[in-house]
Structure 1
Amino acid sequence: MRFDRIFEDLEGRFAHHEREEMRAVSEDLARAERAQLSLADRLRGAGGSSLTLHLGPSLRLEGVVDDVGEEWVALQEEGGGRRTVVPLAAIALVDGLSSRARPAEESLRSPLGLGSVLRAIARDRGVVRLETTAGGIMGRLAAVGVDAVDVHSLPTGESGTVPGSARITVATASLLAVRPR
């Protein structure tokens, strides 16, 4: 009888240590998997969710995650309004981002680069407001290069070229957001 209790106690301890080891291994695997996720993966996992992106001390954008590339995210304003493109490098903080993720290879869409998205906006010839680290510029995208964008500025928001408009080159590294007008 006494040996039965000793064996039961040993079996219980062994089972407890086995469960603790499995839990520790599971946590390690979860941490290792999480370490491989990028911000783009997490934003893809938040597709259709409403988020607030903080792009600096005074610039915040709210909207629903519409599309995500490797270098950018597109937010749709609530109620189907404007679609704003934001380079991922410009994002300082994100409010409302869940822990869900979707790697690029699980996405149904092909990931376009930021340059491709900006060239599509340039082809549309619409008036946009570029938010940059140096301030905002209103105009039309004229040309998109590897690391810079040329903009025909429209200083007072007119729809056509007017006296005072200029061709300005914006380094894509300073680009915070591209918002249609």
Structure 2
Amino acid sequence: MRFERIFEDLEGRFEHHEQEELRAVSEDLARAERAQLTLADRLRGAGRRELTLHVGSGLRLAGAVEEVGAEWVSLRETRTAQRAVVPLAAIGIVEGLSSRARPAEESLRSPLRLGSVLREIARDRSVVRLETTAGTVLGRIAGVGADALDVLSLPTGESSSVPGSARLTVTMSSLLAVLPR
């Protein structure tokens, strides 16, 4: 009888040790998997959930994720129901983002790069507000290069060029958001 209790005790300890080891391995695998996720993956996992993006020092954009590319996110703004395009590198803080993620291979990721999205906006000839690290520019995107875009500024908010209009070059690295006027 005494040996049976000893063996039962040893078996119980062994099972407990196996469970603890399995739990530790599972936690390590979960941490390793999480370490592979990008902000774009998590934004894709947000679905139509309401988020607030803190971009730059004072710009806050609230809305639902519409589309996510490798280097940008399109947000349907809550206040205006208009589309805002934000480079992922410009995002400082995201409020409301869950821990859910959808890696690119599991979802429809836009194959468009940021430059392609900006070229689409330029083709529309719509007046946009560019928020940059150097300030705000109101105008039409005239051309998009690899690392910069040209904007025909409309300083008074007119729909066509007026005295004081200028052709400005905005670097992609300074771009915080592209918003409809």
C-alpha contact (below 8 Å) 2:67/2:110 kept by paired residues: no
* Structure 1 residue ranges without an equivalent (≥5): none
Query: Is the alpha carbon distance of 1:92 and 1:102 closer, same or farther for their aligned partners in structure 2, counting shifts above 3 Å?
Result: same
C-alpha contact (below 8 Å) 1:56/1:92 kept by paired residues: yes
Query: What is residue 97 of structure 2 aligned with on the other side?
Result: 97
Query: What is residue 112 of structure 2 aligned with on the other side?
Result: 112
* Structure 2 residue ranges without an equivalent (≥5): none
How far is 1:109 from its partner? Answer: 4.2
Query: What is residue 134 of structure 2 aligned with on the other side?
Result: 134
C-alpha contact (below 8 Å) 1:139/1:152 kept by paired residues: yes
Give yes or no for the alignment of 1:152 onto 2:148: no
C-alpha contact (below 8 Å) 1:68/1:111 kept by paired residues: no
Query: What is residue 66 of structure 2 aligned with on the other side?
Result: 66
1:88-135: CA deviation from partner (whole Å, max 9, x where unpaired): 000111111111111111222442100010000000000000000000
For 1:44 and 1:150, the matched residues in 2 are separated by 30
Give 4+ residue runs of structure 1 displaced > 3 Å after superposition. Answer: none
State the TM-score, normalizing by the size of structure 1. Answer: 0.97
Query: Is the alpha carbon distance of 1:33 and 1:83 closer, same or farther for their aligned partners in structure 2, counting shifts above 3 Å?
Result: same
What residue identity is the alignment partner of 1:26?
A: S
Identity %: 75
C-alpha contact (below 8 Å) 1:150/1:170 kept by paired residues: yes
**Larger mean Cα displacement after TM superposition, 49-58 or 143-152:** 49-58
Query: SS at the partner of 1:61?
Result: strand
Equivalent pairs counted in the alignment come to: 181
For 2:157 and 2:60, the matched residues in 1 are separated by 22
What residue identity is the alignment partner of 2:157?
A: G
1:135-157: CA deviation from partner (whole Å, max 9, x where unpaired): 00000000000000100000011
For 2:37 and 2:144, the matched residues in 1 are separated by 29
Query: SS at the partner of 1:92?
Result: strand
1:50-93: CA deviation from partner (whole Å, max 9, x where unpaired): 11111122111111111000000011012771100000000111
Query: Is the alpha carbon distance of 1:61 and 1:80 closer, same or farther for their aligned partners in structure 2, counting shifts above 3 Å?
Result: closer
Query: What is residue 5 of structure 2 aligned with on the other side?
Result: 5
Q: CA RMSD of the aligned region, Å? A: 1.1
